[in-house]
Amino acid sequence: MKIEWNEFLKNKSKNAMNIPGRNLSEIKSPLGNPILWAIFILYILVSGYTISHHELWGDEVHSWNISKGSGSYFDLIANRRYEGHPPGWYTILWTISKFTHNVAYMQAAQWVLACSVVFMVLFFSPFPIATRMLIPFGYYFLFEYAVISRNYSLAVLFACLICFIIRRDFKYKFLLYYFLLFCMSNVHLLALLLAASFHLYFLLLNIEKKEKTTTIGLHILLGVIIFLPATYFIFPPSDSALNVNFWMKIWSSHQLITLGQAPLRAFIPMPAWWYYNFWNTEFLLEAKTNYSIFNFINPLVVLTLLVSVFFILRKNKKSLALFGANLLLSFILAVAVFALTTARYAGFIYIGFIMAYWLFCYETPVTRINKWMVNILLITQLIAGVFAISKDIQLPFANLYKIDELLKEIPANDKLVTDYWTANAFIAFTDKPAYCIDMKKEISFLLWASDLEVIQKDPYRYCTGLKYFFQKEGVKTTYLISMAPSQSLFKVDPLLSTSFHVTLIDKREGAIEKGSNLYLYQITEQ
């Protein structure tokens, strides 16, 4: 006889053995399971060691600089609107920055979030024990959403909390549910899509319980109200460089072609291990550049993956609807706005599957074939995760933190400037404003505002900025710290090499993230 999970909570000792798909070992409180505690401690140690060896790159310190540079919380709300992100992650960083400007504390917060996610998976999910043990060491839970300090892990934590409470009955459940839904939707656009998919599950659950039509209608209305703030925060202001016109200009039919790549990145995120700069690569997609047979193999793999997921979830229509809605919304986003061509974006398809399977396991028997299919996917994730962290430990992910080494080579009385993209590194690791040669002014953080579009339209922006700076400061020589090698500088500004003497003084190369190396130039008027 099928017993609802909420009934199980009320009659745990009496009816525990009758819950479909669960055995005695799974019913016992997992908090007393020494194997799971050993896994958790191992995760804490491995993730902590990796984070301590992870060098921050531009996108990570960019959020930190905005949060640190915003005086009041209202300033923060205004500044982060240019990012196209809701304020969830920025609120955490802003709070930390009021106590310290040491960027390492952002990584500490990221570590706490990642460990909290794994704690929920290990001790509060209904997964079979083997599944719980594998999930934490997969690519997204161990590396992409754990080691890299971005807003994704926070969204995953809220997703786990929603999974934990959504089928339970307790006082103030609806208040907590909508609070978590609000928090999750205000972390990232992809988190908003997953939150909407959760709410679809919630509505179907209430329909299954034969709730009144007025009650269902009220929950639909509350969902719309809850999601409105996130929609407002995500939509960029008119003077943003990332406004609607920007996305319309960069849109291409290529986004339709790359649509089928997203499931590969989500479920088989194994990087192309033969590349030094492996991050944001996927081995099957990279293999087709040399072996045309993968043009036929890859679509078959994608089809197999999606069919397998739907097969795993087929016996629970609500869980299947959650995954399907998140997949569909992700595809719509990929077609309409930006392609899911990086692991961090495509990963929310995988997270949607994990959350759908979490809810599946609450009420549906987990068959042997389901366990094997899920665990094969998780083993693939584990291989990718172990590879990624091993490389991140061995090699510098970014060299931006070495900016102090280059600053020591600049004579005390000489002037220093940065360019637009390098300003983030200077501001984060020196805790000082940077004079940005592109913008012709000193800045404390970057905003993707209209001045970015002006800079990008200027084909001689280095020359223009240097001439203005030399005239303003009354000097003929300055030092430039840039993340761009000389050939890239001369490509961006063809007049730079003919209008000025540009001498490479020193460099820091070898970063996994190919755009995160540093170069120190001496620039003198001819």
pLDDT per residue rounded down to tens, the chain (526 residues): 343 434 433 443 333 333 334 443 444 557 878 999 999 999 999 999 999 999 999 999 999 999 999 999 999 999 988 888 999 999 999 999 999 999 999 999 999 999 999 999 999 999 999 999 999 999 999 999 999 999 999 999 999 999 999 998 889 999 999 999 999 999 999 999 999 999 999 999 999 999 999 999 999 999 999 999 999 998 888 777 666 666 666 666 677 777 889 999 999 999 999 999 999 999 999 999 889 999 999 999 999 999 999 999 999 999 999 999 999 999 998 887 777 889 999 999 999 999 999 999 998 889 999 999 999 999 999 999 999 999 999 999 999 999 999 999 999 889 999 999 899 999 999 999 999 998 999 999 988 876 777 787 888 999 999 999 999 999 999 999 999 999 999 999 999 999 999 999 999 999 999 999 999 999 998 8
Number of other CB atoms surrounding residue 373 within 10 Å: 15
List residues bridging with 33 in a β-sheet. Answer: none
| Structure tokens belonging to residue 447 | 């905003």
Radius of gyration for the alpha carbons in the chain, expressed in angstroms and rounded? 25
SS in 3 state form for 452-479?
HHHHHHCCCHHHHHHHHHHHHHCCCEEE
- CA–CA separation, 278 and 274 (whole Å): 8
CA distance 456 to 360: 49
What pLDDT, on the 0 to 100 scale, is given for residue 14? 36
Cβ burial, residue 337 (10 Å; 0-12/13-18/19+)? middle
Give pLDDT, residue 244: 64
Q: Give, to the nearest 10 degrees, the angle between helix 58-69 and helix 73-80.
A: 140
Backbone angles phi, psi at 476, to 5 degrees: -120, 0
What are the beta bridge partners of residue 482?
519
Give the residue from 266, 441, 430 showing the smallest Cα distance to 342: 266
- Rounded Cα distance, 403 and 131, in Å: 43
d(CA 417, CA 479): 6
Q: For residue 419, how many other CB atoms are within 10 A of its CB?
A: 23
Residue 251: predicted pLDDT: 67
Output phi, psi for 262, to 5 deg. Answer: -60, -45
Residue 380 CB burial class (10 angstroms; 0-12, 13-18, ≥19): middle
- Residue 20: exposed, middle, or buried by beta-carbon count in 10 A (0-12, 13-18, 19+)? exposed
140 secondary structure, DSSP code: I
